[in-house]
Structure 1
Amino acid sequence: MRDFSVPPLVEPPRSGGLADTVYQVAAQEPQRIQLARRAPGAAGWSEVTAAAFRDEVTALAKGLLASGVRFGDRVGIMARTRYEWTQFSYALWSIGAQVVPIYPTSSSEQVSWILADSRAVACVVEHEDDAMTVGAACDGLPTLKRIWQLDGGCVRQLSRLGRDIPDETVHSHRAAVDPNSPAAITYTSGTTGRPKGCVVTHANFAVECDTLQAGWGALAAAPGEQPAILVFLPLAHVYGLMVQVYCLRAGVRLGHQPEITTGELLPALASFRPTFLFAVPYVFEKIVSRARLSAADAGRTEAFDKAMDVAVRFAEAQEARRERSGPGPSPALRLRHRMYDRLIYRRLRAVLGGRVRHAVSGGSALSRTLGLLFAGIGITVYDGYGLTETTGAVTGQPLGRTKFGTVGRPLPGSAVHIAPDGEIWVRGGTVFAGYLNDPQGTAEVLRDGWFATGDLGSLDQDGYLSITGRKKDVIITSGGKSVAPAVLEERVRAHPLISQCLLVGDNRPYVAALITLDPEALVHWQRVHQKQADAGWGAVSDTDLQEEIQRVVVTANTAVSRAESIRAFRILPVEFSVGQGLLTPSLKLRRRAIVKAYAADIDELYAG
């Protein structure tokens, strides 16, 4: 199949902008709990009503006007995911200004480029270090007039500054916002070059979020329970920003968590107790990995692995029955599943706060095995696919008809086309307006209403999309063999010891791999094998560890032909990280940067 489309569920907005939601909800249900916030280091959450949030947004919007921000101006926000991010975005939208999200891990050069390209008039930063990063770029930024620091109390200062401005001034600005007005200039991750500024409109966000609510809103919470979502994805990424807008539009209680590491995230989930989860595959992988390590520490690795196997087989049998290709779980499998639910699965659900039964995964494709595993433990993960240019998801798993291993079908109102070379093209109300200051780049990807994604994929007979790779990631060996690395990389990463895997081999005689290890899993492996604790080169050169990884690679190679298989690998002593510039903030591999950083290691892989 080459084309598939789904009729729309919602009408695009005819007037107004995103900030209208804040004022409408406050007028209709002033005491509705809209957000929850937590002071630094505090365990509990303070609830914020719709009326209180409206007043905060209005006061901040007046302060922005008093400081010189005008309709159509652009303001950078360079901070982790926190409450003030939401305050500022809605205050800016209230006066018709545009948000320019900037990752707090960005280098001075990246910050300078984004602020210069967007012609931002001001920038909100989190703390003094960020202020220094922005300040270092100021000489080349003639339009930048203000830097505000969250940890320096800028929200309070701005709110005080605007006290003499009438509320009506804010409302007159808000009334001038049109659905097609830009809401955000969201920059791509720059995995293949300089980041591009995507012009995302108020209508793009509204159509995306309203479609999700109309089609999947029933999954957000149990009947009679207010939905609650903890946002821990970067709000500087379109996925996180979309989740924020969804919560405000759908009446979901919204909380913020700045760190995504398991040590920080899991306690926050346990205390906030969300009813629904928006995450990336990394989070689901780490939850299972952490649980397995805990089981190993208690001497229950075998029982845990058996429980995970039962979960996968149970979900697979349910899927077969749903697709009318099998009878469903056998009585014996049901019995074992119920037993493990009492002993293990409920504890895994408790890690997420105990109330999550459905989740969404995005950012990159979720493996079929991981999707089945979570379904088997009682949490159905609806995998989707999207890009910065599509305001988040453009495909998703249909309600009650998940096909694990795919990224679902086009969202209602969207269409997918597979070009002759296998490239995925998409169309719909969530597709962006174009690249800022780049008409040539826009013309290259927007073709008669279709957006050429650069990703490769296929549609099955039911319209479900599978991602097979990215056009620019395809490796062409010196023998002329084209290799899409995604399948092999995913299979290698499935092993608990392995954190990341990057295939190389362009213009080389065969495919090789750079592999990093999960630090916690490595410590456990060393303890089990009575090895000296070591996280450096001594550990990765250990003969037993090399043999363990060799077995993983051999098993992964069974999924591909010999010409596509990994012939050599190198274990690296540290994980690729955002701070090194080797991962995007959404945790995708920056392939070119990694190949450049480890050029000597790659050369050694082919030295023989």
Structure 2
Amino acid sequence: GWNDTYTYMKALGEQMIAKTRGDLPTAIIRQSIMESSLEDPEPGWLGGALRMADPLIVGFGKGRLPDFPGDPDSILDIIPADFVINAILAATVQTYYRQGIEVYHVASGARNPLTFGDIVNITHDYFTRQPLLDNGVPIPVPVWKFPDEQKFQKDLRQKLHLLDTASRWLNRLPLRWARRKERRIAVKKNAIETLLHYVQIYGPYVRLSFEFEIGKTEALYDSLSPADQQQFNFDMSRIDWRRYFQEIHIPGIKRHFLKLGDDSGSQRISEPTPDRIGELPADTSSEEEFRAHNESAEPPVNESSKPIERQTMIDLVARQAESIPDKIALQMKRGSEWVRYSYSQLYEVSRQVAFVLWKRGYRKGDRVILFAENQPEWGITYLAAVQIGVIVVPIDPQTAEEEIFALAEYTESKAVLASEACVTRLQSTPIKPSAESTSPEFLNINSFCQPFEREQTETSVPTGSKLPPVPDNFPDVDIDPDTVASIIFTMGTTVDARGAMISHRGFIANVVAVSQALPPEDTDRFLSVLPLYHALGFSCNFLMSIYAGTTITYTNSLRPTSILAIMRETKTTVLIGVPRLFQLLYDTIKRYVVESPEAMEAPLDPEVVQEIQAALGGHIRVLVSGGAALPDEVYDRFMEFGLTIYQGYGMTEASPVLSVNPYHKSKRGTVGPEVQGVELQIINPGKNGIGEIVASSPSLMQGYYRNQAMTEQVIRDGLLYTGDLGYFDEEGYLYLTGRSKDVIVSGAGKNIYPVELEALYQHSPLISEICIVGMSTDNLFEAAHAIIVPVHDDDRDRTEVEKAIHQHIQERAQDLPTYQHLQTVYFWDTELPKTSAAVIDRQRVKEVLQEQLSRQTQEAPQPDPVKDTLATDGNEDTLKSTVAPDTPAGVEEVIISELSRLARLPADQIHLNSNLGTELGLDSMARVELLLLLESRLQRSIPDELIAKIQTVGDVTETVRTLQSDSAPPSIDEETSAYIVRSESSLISAALATLFRFGVWAIYRCYFSIKCNGLTNLSREPYIIAANHSSHLDTLAIMTVLGDECKRLRVLAAKDYWFSTRFKSWFSGELLKFVPFDRHANFLQGLRISQEVLKQNECLLIYPEGTRSVTGELQPFKPGLGLLAYETGSPIVPAYIDGTYHALPKGRNLPRKSRIRVTFGKPIMPSSGHGIEKTDAASGLEQETYRKLADAVRAEIEALRADCVNREA
């Protein structure tokens, strides 16, 4: 008989109170459906939450509830909030004097009944006279007929089924209007689903009629003096329901929740979300009847929308394995195959691996190091360890072998759980643990924690079938929520080890808190690019995905094009990254996605925005940046893309998030308000309000492992002293302004401690003093810079000493992760400035360094740090078709020039033996930029592993020469090759293609009156048609005028759009004769595809402008047209298309009637005297050659345009 768990739990609570109260006087107040106050503290006060009737009232006023099933004569027992409070006060006093237990019902139905029909009529009357507005237009309200519930729900579900069917069909159509229709259908579906939800939760309250016994409450009211009755009113009989709703309650809803004036509307009104709708129902007065009836006044709350408190991470996984066992939890693409683990497999395999560890003697409290790159087996191994109480110490896959053993010794770890890739890298390093230490065993996570020396099981078996079954007597280790799960080191063992001990409770409390600000959806698809050993990547990617029951995808490649490709393939909705990643994604979008630099100028064309979003997968819902400050420029650029980056702030010691911008409420330049449960305060603020940020949080670490002194320094009286400086605005959003502590935060989100780097690099007899400071040389991201005072040596030349120090730093850096490499080394002749305490004055050193960098910046080339880092000499066309000069000197000059831009150093400081990491400061992200630079220069893809082997500038130049001498063109995938040589694959396909061409011909002849001139200029040999481009109608216009010749025509088309579904692939390949082309790949791939098309004795249609003209005027041509013609030796047939721009310009959805004319000019051969012969291309003038040919073709099309205008005149 219970309608919801809320009232049931309150009834259980009453029973507990009755049994445990002893002799304590007790009053129990049961109110019916509590709504806004009548008088106090003000009329219409709602107490911060919508009540039961309010969502229905708002939905009715917006016209979104066309009807509703229910009994219009059923009583809805409503009571104002202040009546309940007044009754509580009066009952408290009386019960105190009477002793015992008293039960009072505060309800209106028995003395002043209000029916469901009454509420509907009152509300209808109100919104008829004072309607809400939609874009200034009054919203009409419906007249309800109170239909039968079963029939009503059946009709709604039928409509929902029809909309689902329509949506599936529209998704197969490669048409822009189909996307808009899909969005409208989604809105309609949401409205129907909301209505069904309301019918479900409100059903019991609009069909039943009952009265509560209020005799005792009335007697209580009558016992009050007249003065008290006036001050503490709860006389239900005195309520005028029409006045209450029309003058108090509905205006209160509009004022407090819709943020409208009492008698105004709004163009856009946010949908209220039911929170707690009503209260515990009034009941009978006897203690024996504490069990409630089905008359409870509060509908059930949707439990899936509420955060579920999880005790441990194992509980988290176990519950998801039970509720969504077959849903994919973790996945990763290895080669061409996907490795996937469902939630049930994740739980079962982790249990099996836990048993493997248990059999090997691992017990609660033991520690193990987890040393692996991101992959599903990382998560499985972690969950396996914590299931048996083993504490995991996750570390960077780049960690040097010496530091691995030092950490193992410091934490007394019994094992290193490692991936095969990481151990393979270590085997070339001869460093061993010290003799007195106990060496940890190495277990292979890719064979489910079997020792490396044993025969390996098959890598990544998703079913876990090769693992031993978990026996029934496998103990369930008692894991308390406060059990330490991880020790995450923020500083290594070199100086002052800081390993933050974080419990299950800490991690889960933080996940729940973040989910309140950025609510995950169970349909989300996470892409994990942040490292799992990082607290942010572990908590907000791995745990958040499991908490929400979503799918998370892993990728080890930081190449932006690879990230974009996996986003498109998985339809990623959530991406959490660091600022440097978003910068690289922007650069890649600008280079590969947008067809012309002008298209990136604000304001962006809607179709450009749509294209950019498609490149990002087309489903992005949430982008989150953390780990370092997000530059405002990057935030602004993604806002132009229609995407918001939600910036957050935190520390590993807080598990890690302290604040984040809430969903749909992000502000530029801020890290948002504090998350749920966290309290941030600014201590010792200056006149500008800036001070140190101090935090209290349920997610604070338990302390630093074996470092009580540092723990007491960082956590005092339960408060975390962050060392960061900031201030709050009037809305409670936090702004970071700097740091009071010495720590460098790189663009990749790495914390770099200067004192640790100084300890790592100072051990050289040639170094007298060393000081490490953090500086930003590009106004975007910080890096570590060293100022060194060399030892004075009369026997050695100063240049020789500096060279030896550079050699020492380079050798030391070889064993360190890239984020611990130095960006720049500066030498001082004098002693470094000191403080009064005789220690190096780091701040003063930094100021001097800033002055020196400022002087050098004026001498160095100054690229725009946010423009493409690939040195395009200001022209994207040059980037896409040029190669480095062939001479050795030319190669070196170009590479050093480009690295000067990338490293932000003067070119004269870069030499062939300069180390990319130790001397140029290129970290892992910067090496990705180097990869893009080389691909740009070489116009071919370079494997990630080749980049990893490049250490010096000389390696770069050698790689360029080697790949330039390798003339083998890039390969074409089998799918694309199939479309190049394809004819109609069956009689049905041939018939459909003929029918399609006839239909297009009929439309263009009848509706557009299409005509053609110059068909005699087309030959039977392969040729390239180069046409102007101003409309989506252009391609079909060319196909129409070619007649049967169009069977030979091929058009390169974006693979990720025109071939994204089976229907699109068939339509584009069979009917339109498109050939799939990866527009995000390099230029040579397109060149190879074009060559293959022409080899098949077919013709190729290209648009040298690169994109549709917004104005209809001819745009500049890409020099790639000239390159294609020269490389294939094919003639270019210029074509001018007139009338399509007027019929369907860019931005218009439906075509208007217009005359279309197509004119073909005389063929132009690549060596027909247009400025430079093909033989000149070998002399280093390729770019000029290609551009002159493209310009010649453009001039011919301009001439055709002029002829067309003259004929029309």
SS at match of 2:413: coil
- Pick the aligned partner of 1:103 from 374, 393, 396: 396
* Structure 1 counterpart of 2:665: 401
Residues 581 and 54 (structure 1 numbering): CA distance in 2 closer, same or farther, change over 3 Å? farther
Tell me how far apart the structure 1 counterparts of residues 678 and 647 of structure 2 sit (CA, whole Å). Answer: 16
SS at match of 2:846: coil
Q: Is the 8 A contact 1:66 1:161 kept in 2?
A: no
* RMSD of aligned alpha carbons: 4.2
C-alpha distance after superposition, 1:299-341 (max 9, x if no partner): x11222x1xx32xxxxxxxxxxxxxxxxxxxxxxxxxx5xx12
* Structure 1 counterpart of 2:479: 177
C-alpha distance after superposition, 1:560-605 (max 9, x if no partner): xxxxxxxx99976889759999759999xxxxxxxxxxxxxxxxxx
Deviation at 1:349, TM superposition (A): 1.7
Q: Does 1:524 align with 2:902?
A: no
Q: Is the 8 A contact 1:81 1:235 kept in 2?
A: yes
Residues 450 and 82 (structure 1 numbering): CA distance in 2 closer, same or farther, change over 3 Å? same
Structure 2 counterparts to residues 105-144 of structure 1, below 5 A: 105-127=398-420, 128-132=423-427, 136-139=431-434, 142-144=437-439
Q: Which 10-residue stretch deviates more, 74-83 or 411-420?
A: 411-420
* Structure 2 counterpart of 1:186: 488
Deviation at 1:501, TM superposition (A): 8.4
* Structure 2 counterpart of 1:464: 733
Tell me how far apart the structure 1 counterparts of residues 734 and 915 of structure 2 sit (CA, whole Å). Answer: 31
Instruction: Could you tell me which runs of 5 or more consecutive residues in structure 2 were left unpaired when the two chains were aligned.
Output: 1-304, 451-455, 459-463, 686-690, 745-772, 784-821, 827-844, 928-1209
* Structure 2 counterpart of 1:58: 351
Tell me how far apart the structure 2 counterparts of residues 86 and 102 of structure 1 sit (CA, whole Å). Answer: 14
Q: Is the 8 A contact 2:678 2:696 kept in 1?
A: yes
Residues 136 and 160 (structure 1 numbering): CA distance in 2 closer, same or farther, change over 3 Å? farther
Q: TM-score, normalised by structure 1?
A: 0.72
SS at match of 2:427: helix
* Structure 2 counterpart of 1:264: 562
C-alpha distance after superposition, 1:359-380 (max 9, x if no partner): 1111111122221221231221
Q: Is the 8 A contact 1:66 1:165 kept in 2?
A: no
- Pick the aligned partner of 2:614 from 350, 354, 364: 350
Q: Does 1:378 align with 2:642?
A: yes
* Structure 2 counterpart of 1:246: 544
C-alpha distance after superposition, 1:497-536 (max 9, x if no partner): xxx9889953637534388988973353398498956999
Tell me how far apart the structure 1 counterparts of residues 719 and 328 of structure 2 sit (CA, whole Å). Answer: 40
Q: Is the 8 A contact 2:490 2:652 kept in 1?
A: yes
SS at match of 2:474: helix
Q: Does 1:149 align with 2:444?
A: yes
Q: Which 10-residue stretch deviates more, 197-206 or 370-379?
A: 370-379
Tell me how far apart the structure 1 counterparts of residues 399 and 676 of structure 2 sit (CA, whole Å). Answer: 35
Q: Is the 8 A contact 2:381 2:445 kept in 1?
A: no
* Structure 1 counterpart of 2:144: none
Tell me how far apart the structure 2 counterparts of residues 393 and 466 of structure 1 sit (CA, whole Å). Answer: 15
Deviation at 1:268, TM superposition (A): 2.0
- Structure number with higher relative contact order (C-alpha < 8 Å, ≥ 6 residues apart): 1
Tell me how far apart the structure 2 counterparts of residues 424 and 201 of structure 1 sit (CA, whole Å). Answer: 23
Q: Which runs of 4+ in 1 moved over 6 A?
A: 9-12, 158-162, 500-504, 514-520, 534-537, 568-571, 573-576, 578-582, 584-587
Tell me how far apart the structure 2 counterparts of residues 457 and 48 of structure 1 sit (CA, whole Å). Answer: 43
Q: Does 1:341 align with 2:606?
A: yes
Q: Is the 8 A contact 1:468 1:484 kept in 2?
A: no
* Structure 2 counterpart of 1:511: 851
* Structure 2 counterpart of 1:423: 692
Tell me how far apart the structure 2 counterparts of residues 154 and 280 of structure 1 sit (CA, whole Å). Answer: 31
Q: Is the 8 A contact 1:455 1:469 kept in 2?
A: yes
C-alpha distance after superposition, 1:476-504 (max 9, x if no partner): xxxxxxx99569732999xxxxxx98899
Q: Which amino acid aligns with 2:643?
A: I
SS at match of 2:873: helix
- Pick the aligned partner of 2:335 from 35, 41, 58: 41
Tell me how far apart the structure 1 counterparts of residues 438 and 510 of structure 2 sit (CA, whole Å). Answer: 32
C-alpha distance after superposition, 1:231-271 (max 9, x if no partner): 12111111111120111111111221122232432222222
Q: TM-score, normalised by structure 2?
A: 0.38
Tell me how far apart the structure 1 counterparts of residues 499 and 890 of structure 2 sit (CA, whole Å). Answer: 39
Tell me how far apart the structure 1 counterparts of residues 400 and 732 of structure 2 sit (CA, whole Å). Answer: 41
Residues 10 and 73 (structure 1 numbering): CA distance in 2 closer, same or farther, change over 3 Å? farther
SS at match of 1:180: coil
Q: Which amino acid aligns with 1:80?
A: E
Q: Which 10-residue stretch deviates more, 457-466 or 285-294?
A: 457-466
Tell me how far apart the structure 2 counterparts of residues 580 and 488 of structure 1 sit (CA, whole Å). Answer: 14
Q: Does 1:453 align with 2:718?
A: no
Residues 184 and 492 (structure 1 numbering): CA distance in 2 closer, same or farther, change over 3 Å? closer
Deviation at 1:393, TM superposition (A): 1.6
Deviation at 1:144, TM superposition (A): 4.2
Tell me how far apart the structure 2 counterparts of residues 489 and 112 of structure 1 sit (CA, whole Å). Answer: 38
Q: Is the 8 A contact 1:78 1:130 kept in 2?
A: no
C-alpha distance after superposition, 1:179-232 (max 9, x if no partner): 111110111156995552110111111011112223322xx45xxx61110112
Q: Which amino acid aligns with 2:598?
A: E
Tell me how far apart the structure 2 counterparts of residues 420 and 569 of structure 1 sit (CA, whole Å). Answer: 45
Tell me how far apart the structure 2 counterparts of residues 104 and 492 of structure 1 sit (CA, whole Å). Answer: 22
- Pick the aligned partner of 2:504 from 202, 219, 222: 202
Instruction: Could you tell me which runs of 5 or more consecutive residues in structure 1 were left unpaired when the two chains were aligned.
Output: 1-8, 311-336, 476-482, 494-499, 554-567, 588-608
Q: Is the 8 A contact 1:103 1:585 kept in 2?
A: no
Tell me how far apart the structure 2 counterparts of residues 206 and 24 of structure 1 sit (CA, whole Å). Answer: 14
How many residues align? The count is 504
* Structure 1 counterpart of 2:524: 227
More strand by share: 1
Q: Which amino acid aligns with 1:258?
A: N
Tell me how far apart the structure 2 counterparts of residues 191 and 397 of structure 1 sit (CA, whole Å). Answer: 35
Deviation at 1:473, TM superposition (A): 5.0
Residues 363 and 536 (structure 1 numbering): CA distance in 2 closer, same or farther, change over 3 Å? farther
Q: Percent identity?
A: 24
Tell me how far apart the structure 2 counterparts of residues 46 and 65 of structure 1 sit (CA, whole Å). Answer: 26
Q: Which amino acid aligns with 1:42?
A: S
Q: Which amino acid aligns with 1:282?
A: R
* Structure 2 counterpart of 1:163: 468
- Pick the aligned partner of 2:312 from 17, 31, 42: 17
Tell me how far apart the structure 1 counterparts of residues 921 and 825 of structure 2 sit (CA, whole Å). Answer: 18
Residues 446 and 274 (structure 1 numbering): CA distance in 2 closer, same or farther, change over 3 Å? same
Q: Which amino acid aligns with 2:606?
A: D
* Structure 1 counterpart of 2:625: 361
Tell me how far apart the structure 1 counterparts of residues 366 and 851 of structure 2 sit (CA, whole Å). Answer: 49
Residues 390 and 10 (structure 1 numbering): CA distance in 2 closer, same or farther, change over 3 Å? farther
Tell me how far apart the structure 1 counterparts of residues 553 and 375 of structure 2 sit (CA, whole Å). Answer: 8
SS at match of 1:197: strand
SS at match of 2:869: helix
Tell me how far apart the structure 1 counterparts of residues 516 and 742 of structure 2 sit (CA, whole Å). Answer: 36
* Structure 2 counterpart of 1:391: 655
Q: Which amino acid aligns with 2:597?
A: T
Residues 82 and 358 (structure 1 numbering): CA distance in 2 closer, same or farther, change over 3 Å? same
SS at match of 1:378: coil
Q: Which amino acid aligns with 1:370?
A: V
C-alpha distance after superposition, 1:380-413 (max 9, x if no partner): 1110011211212211002322111111111111
